[in-house]
Amino acid sequence: MLSFEGVYRKRGGTLLSGLFGSDPFDFWVGRFYVGLFGAISLGATFLGIAVIAFAISRIGDGDLARVTITAPLREYGLGFAGFDQGGAWQTIVILATVAFAAWALREVEICRKLEMGYHVPIMFSFAISAWLVLQVIRPLLMGCWCEGFDLGFTGHLTWVSNTGFRYQNFYLNPFHAFGVLGFFLTAMVLGMHGSAILGTYNTDPDPVKETSNVDNFWRDYIGYSIGELGIHVLGFWLAIYTLIMSDLCILTSGTVVKDWVDFWHFSIPWFH
Ligand code: 07D
């Protein structure tokens, strides 16, 4: 344990301790906090990995690069499918969703222990929203689990390509374009921030002066520095914007828009 870690390792602030006054999961393994939701998340993850391994063994393709656990066929609609007919996919999707949600709730309990804001679980929940939209919400809206993406490296990429072309030209989906813009912008500002921090690391024994070295660099270079807190607030909102656009891009495809080429054939009178 590092010298300051003891300060943060306080029991309590968890759901179970709030409800019953005690929490048997309120402990650490090494430097990792476990907690009720950590145990649920790990349990669902191990079970999910076991189902994946079992499903792969039945497919009989030992090549992990191309092995794919496919979504149920269209004939099953929103019903349950047999294990080899898409039931494996359904089981894995349920277990993965439980694992992701429990992990977000574990983050909430850690935030409560550290008496900090909920920014981390909020941000992670937006990442989970992409998974939920793709695998649960859009299939429900389209009336078929077959709409979810297949699980596997090549399988999910094939799904993206097929789904993109099914709506003619996915580049013409404006939410997709705004999402792409957000991913690129987020990567760029993260790269700018990371390189500025690493570039000024150890330039001054005083961390406050080190921070002003970063500010000075950007003011010298582009005439403006968003500041230490500002860059993190920008990253937070950029990532949320990006994920909302990505959610909208796939949520609208097939539900309200069937053809993104045709979508642009509207006419705004004052535009021409
Ligand atoms: C999904 C991650 C959540 C992570 C979680 C936790 C695990 C895995 C394992 C369960 C959102 C961790 C998870 C550990 C668990 C198991 C077994 C984050 C997620 C919860 N596109 N496109 C996007 C670009 C084209 C198409 C998004 C670029 C073509 C479709 C993003 C290009 C066509 C869909 C994006 C490009 C096309 C997308 C994806 C360039 C194909 C979507 C990122 C330069 C012909 C998808 C919500 C994302 C989407 C999506 C970028 C091209 C089709 C904006 C840069 C033109 C059908 N594309 N695309 O959202 O919006 O991450 O998903 O060409 O469905 Mg696209």
Instruction: Answer yes or no: is pLDDT of 4 > 80.
Output: no
Which one of 141, 160, 172, 173 would you pick to mutate in the ligand 1 pocket, going by the greatest count of ligand atoms within 8 A of its CB? 160
Instruction: Answer yes or no: is pLDDT of 5 > 90.
Output: no
Instruction: Answer yes or no: is pLDDT of 272 > 70.
Output: no
Average pLDDT over residues 154-179: 98
State the pTM of this model: 0.93
Instruction: Answer yes or no: is pLDDT of 117 > 80.
Output: yes
The pLDDT assigned to 22 comes to 93
Pocket of ligand 1 (CB under 6 A): 92, 96, 100, 127-128, 130-131, 133-134, 151, 160-161, 163-165, 170-171, 176, 179-180, 183, 243, 246-247, 249-250
pLDDT band of residue 130 (cuts 50, 70, 90) is very high
* Span from the CA of 124 to the centroid of ligand 1 (angstroms): 16
Closest approach atom of ligand 1 to CA 242: 54
* C-alpha to C-alpha distance for 242 and 9, rounded to whole angstroms: 34
Domains of the chain: 1-166 (1.20.85.10), 169-263 (1.20.85.10)
Instruction: Answer yes or no: is pLDDT of 178 > 80.
Output: yes
Average pLDDT over residues 47-75: 95
Which one of 45, 156, 246, 250 would you pick to mutate in the ligand 1 pocket, going by the greatest count of ligand atoms within 8 A of its CB? 246
Closest residue to atom 28 of ligand 1, CA basis: 180
Instruction: Answer yes or no: is pLDDT of 268 > 90.
Output: no
Average pLDDT over residues 115-141: 97
Per-residue burial over 187-211, b if 16 or more Cβ lie within 10 Å, else e, is eeeeeebeebeeebeeeeeeeeeeb
Average pLDDT over residues 186-203: 94
Which residues have a Cβ under 8 Å from the Cβ of 38 and sit 6 or more positions away?
25, 32, 102, 103, 106
